Amino acid sequence: MGIDPYHPVAMADLQALLAEMHEEVIVQVLDDLKNGDRKARQEAMALLKNSNVTASAAEGSTLRQLAGKMDFSSMADKVVELRRPPAVG
């Protein structure tokens, strides 16, 4: 006999199970990441994105330094505008 997914108690149980699964996945990915598993980096980024986790680049943080390195505004004079070729016909 299965669980009626629309029963309020069953829904609470399912929510608890899903929360537990999510926690286990997070713990496993974090362990893999700490152990230097290169694949875990991609898994961690996907997990963060899928969980709608965002970060703020605080002044002086590594994330802020990375963001600064990705700023291409100093190259604005070197960018060539792409234009569509004229339509034939």
Per-residue pLDDT, 7: 66
What lies within 8 Å, CB to CB, of 33 at 6+ separation is 40, 41, 44
DSSP result, 2-44: ---TTSHHHHHHHHHHHHHHHHHHHHHHHHHHHTT-HHHHHHH
Q: Give per-residue pLDDT as tens, 58-70.
A: 888 887 888 777 7
- 48-50-53 Cα angle (round to 5): 40
Q: CA–CA separation, 75 vs 79, rounded Å?
A: 7
pTM over 0.75: no
Q: Give per-residue pLDDT as tens, 25-71.
A: 999 999 999 999 989 989 998 988 888 888 777 888 887 888 777 77
pLDDT band at 24 (very low <50, low <70, confident <90, very high): very high
